[in-house]
Structure 1
Amino acid sequence: MTKISDGSSRSPRGEIGGIPTRYIGIGAIVVLAVWFLFANLDKVKIQFWVFTVTAPLWIALLATLIAGVALGWLLKGRRSR
């Protein structure tokens, strides 16, 4: 049998230029997060229950981002079981 092509040059589902859309989305979020971190370089006071720390805002934002990624990774593992 001969395979007939319909002439379309569509990429496989979920890919743009051979790159999975998941990686493109992750890359966009990383770029935006880095831009947001460097746009917030002022020093801030961070108050915990007992003590207060003065640190650059980007460090607090980075710590929050890392905590969110870790929490998402842990919850993803629970969902797949």
Structure 2
Amino acid sequence: MSPSGSTGGSKSAPKGGVGGLLTPGRITVAVIALLTLVFIFENTRSTKIRLLIPEVTMPLWMALFATAVLGALCGGYFVGRRR
């Protein structure tokens, strides 16, 4: 019997299965995203924010969330351009 026909040995996880879905990098990003959302929604007081010329009053969570979304969009754009 040839070595390529044997059924014994170690088996690796399929590339498209759960093993590929839960990588350490993806788990780390999910934990950081969750902590960011907790931080944003814990800061609910209103604050004054100066947008170049006008000064607006808005909840701090809304300003933090908008900043996080803009940062994620910029990061996604630059990662997409690098590929």
TM-score normalised by the chain length of structure 1: 0.74
Segments of 5+ residues of structure 2 without an aligned counterpart are none
Quick one: which of 12, 30, 35 aligns to 1:32?
A: 35
SS of equivalent residue, structure 1 residue 61: helix
Q: 1:43-67, CA deviations, whole angstroms, 9 ceiling, x for partnerless residues?
A: 1000112211100000000000000
- Name the structure 2 match of 1:67: 70
Structure with higher helix content: 2
Which ranges of 4 or more aligned residues in structure 1 deviate by more than 6 Å? Answer: none
TM-score normalised by the chain length of structure 2: 0.72
**What is the deviation of 1:22?**
2.6
RMSD of Structure 2 on Structure 1 (CA): 2.2
Quick one: which of 20, 24, 30 aligns to 2:23?
A: 20
Matched length: 72
SS of equivalent residue, structure 2 residue 53: coil
Matched letter for residue 77 of structure 1: G
Change (3 A) 1:4 1:78: closer
Higher gyration radius (CA): 2
Matched letter for residue 21 of structure 1: P
SS of equivalent residue, structure 1 residue 49: coil
Matched letter for residue 20 of structure 1: T
